[in-house]
């Protein structure tokens, strides 16, 4: 998708927390500088996911920020989302692309160079690579090898979004390795001032990109 | 969908049990008289569901028995299934129909006359009504009112599939109330001879329909 800015992808789940509504949280992270949002509700019903995505889209669309739904292509289509992100346990990329059509963003997780190459061949628009660091969201998943992002960078032309355990203190690592952006979940979860945190993350990303 | 026979819908999940492969179980219940199959894997990944549905379709399609996937329209489409069944927590019927297209079977759960009427208006091909009796699969869900099936029968023209706690001993109740068929899960789960059980169920359904 030409022009999609993946610098700061914020993943939204049920635990956005601290008395903020979904709409308030969405508005705040966008005003802080989020460039892309992903709705990821694990173990939620389709109806719950659709309702949540609809709330997020209601805020994000008028502000021009794309919203991607995790895993479910059918929910993404029903919500009128901008795209879908499929992990390795989700539908194959080739099917996500076929069902989503050519206009929708299709992101794919890739845990190896081969998976990244395949995702590109199958029609993905970007790859998510991680966990870069040990993540509180998935504590039992081993981080990727430290040279995986550079290796994928050499192999494919698609944008790379680094994910997993990324904070303001370590985001320069994947960015300097060639990632185009980072995905954030834990660093913003239950955070009192998501707008400010997003804004500091955004600033650090820009700094890291400059070198 | 003209001509779909919903007399004996067998719901397949992971616990089909007793050393039978998915293919063996599928083959046996079809030879016993199952007229329709539903793949329902709760909390499964899309990939697992797709793989499971593909195995079931590999057996059922050459035998002319339709396979419906529970909840996920995207998986149903990717698997090339004959249809999708949406419950009240799943995508709205109108969206299931829009995504599935006109040729696919769309079934919808309905727990009230109003829901059944709405499902028909929104493009469903049949309604699933239940739980008719307390079901071991959903022990905390109260059974429907004893007059719900007759009430729905009077209101809509779609076929009705009765579901929930149905066994060979009680299936005559919903059938005589006007249900076109029954859906079975627990009565076949972990059963040593699913083909024989299916065949006895089928015989009882025919008997109940006759009088």
Contact A99 B71 (CB under 8 A): no
Q: Which positions in chain A have a beta carbon within 8 angstroms of at least one beta carbon in chain B?
A: 43, 45-48, 50, 71-75, 77-78, 86, 88-92, 95-96, 98-99
Contact B95 A78 (CB under 8 A): yes
Residues of chain A contacting B104 with CB distance shorter than 8 Å: none
Q: How much is the ipTM here?
A: 0.93
**Residue B209 has what DSSP assignment?**
H
Mean pLDDT for A22-39 is: 96
| Separation between Cα atoms, residue A31 and residue A53, nearest integer Å | 18
Contact B91 A73 (CB under 8 A): no
Evaluate whether A14 touches A55 at the Cβ level (below 8 Å). Answer: no
Smallest CA–CA distance, residue A211 to chain B, in Å, is 40
pLDDT digits (tens, 9 = 90+) for A145-159: 999 999 999 999 999
pLDDT digits (tens, 9 = 90+) for A147-200: 999 999 999 999 999 999 999 999 999 999 999 999 998 888 878 899 999 999
In 3D space, the residue among A94, A95, A123, A90 whose CA is nearest the CA of residue A109 turns out to be A90
Which entry of B7, B109, B135, B199 is annotated as an active-site residue?
B109
Q: Above 90 in pLDDT, residue B24?
A: yes
pLDDT digits (tens, 9 = 90+) for B69-117: 999 999 999 999 999 999 999 999 999 999 999 999 999 999 999 999 9
Other beta carbons within 10 angstroms of residue A96's beta carbon come to 29
Contact B43 A43 (CB under 8 A): yes
Share of chain B above pLDDT 70, in %: 98
Instruction: Identify the band that residue B2 occupies on the pLDDT scale cut at 50, 70 and 90.
Output: low
- Give the position of tokens 């206009």: A103
Phi, psi of A148 (to 5 degrees): -70, -45
Angle at B182 between CA B181 and CA B187, to 5 degrees: 155
Could you tell me which chain A residue has the CA closest to the CA of B50?
A: A91
Evaluate whether A78 touches A50 at the Cβ level (below 8 Å). Answer: yes
Is pTM beyond 0.90? Reply is yes
- Give the position of tokens 């009128």: A80
**Average pLDDT along chain B:** 94
């Amino acid at each position: 998708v030409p022009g999609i800015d993946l610098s700061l992808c914020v993943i939204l789940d049920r635990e956005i927390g601290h008395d903020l509504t979904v709409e308030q949280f969405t508005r705040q992270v966008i005003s802080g500088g989020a460039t892309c949002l992903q709705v990821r509700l694990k173990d939620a019903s389709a109806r719950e996911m659709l309702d949540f995505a609809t709330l997020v889209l209601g805020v994000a669309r008028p502000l021009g920020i794309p919203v991607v739904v995790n895993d479910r292509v059918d929910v993404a289509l029903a919500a009128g989302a901008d795209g879908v992100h499929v992990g390795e346990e989700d539908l194959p990329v080739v099917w996500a692309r076929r069902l989503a059509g050519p206009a929708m963003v299709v992101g794919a997780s890739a845990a190896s160079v081969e998976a990244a190459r395949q995702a590109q061949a199958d029609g993905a628009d970007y790859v998510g690579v991680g966990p870069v660091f040990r993540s509180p969201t998935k504590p039992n998943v081993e981080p990727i090898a430290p040279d995986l992002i550079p290796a994928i960078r050499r192999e494919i032309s698609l944008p790379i979004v680094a994910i997993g355990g990324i904070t303001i203190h370590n985001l320069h690592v994947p960015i300097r390795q060639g990632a185009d952006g980072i995905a954030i979940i834990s660093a913003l979860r239950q955070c009192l001032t998501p707008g400010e945190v997003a804004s500091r993350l955004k600033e650090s990303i820009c700094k890291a990109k400059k070198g």
